[in-house]
């Protein structure tokens, strides 16, 4: 099992998600529920790749999720301004 890195736990993106969207052990982003643990594990796995933080986060949020097109649009619009300011 992949352990969550301290770098991911301490990154500004996670702090921002925790502050604005955390509801117990999940994120409630515009009514779309996403497992916090899944996001943290995926971000840890993607940490070694040279892709933008915004792409890492978005891919971590949607990974293995059954989301409708409208759910994906909600995630994008809810996170767009918050995460862009952290890059």
pTM for this entry: 0.87
Is residue 44 assigned to a domain? yes
Write out pLDDT tens, residues 2-53: 688 888 899 898 999 999 999 999 999 999 999 999 999 999 999 889 998 8
Query: For residue 79, what pLDDT is reported?
Result: 83
If one counts the domains in the chain, the total is 1
Is residue 74 assigned to a domain? yes
Is residue 1 assigned to a domain? no
Judged on CB neighbours under 10 Å (0-12, 13-18, 19+), 32 is: buried
Is residue 33 assigned to a domain? yes
Is residue 57 assigned to a domain? yes
Give residue 61's domain range.
Answer: 6-84
Buried/exposed code over 55-80 (b: 16+ C-beta within 10 A; e: otherwise) = ebbbbbbbeeeeeeeebeebbeebbe
């Amino acid at each position: 099992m992949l352990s969550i890195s301290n770098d991911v736990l301490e990154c500004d993106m996670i702090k921002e998600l925790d502050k604005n969207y955390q509801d117990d052990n999940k994120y409630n982003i515009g009514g779309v529920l996403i497992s916090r643990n899944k996001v943290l594990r995926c971000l840890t796995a993607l940490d070694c790749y040279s892709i933008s933080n915004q792409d890492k986060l978005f891919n971590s949020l949607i990974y293995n999720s059954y989301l409708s097109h409208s759910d994906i649009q909600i995630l994008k619009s809810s996170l767009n301004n918050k995460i862009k300011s952290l890059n």
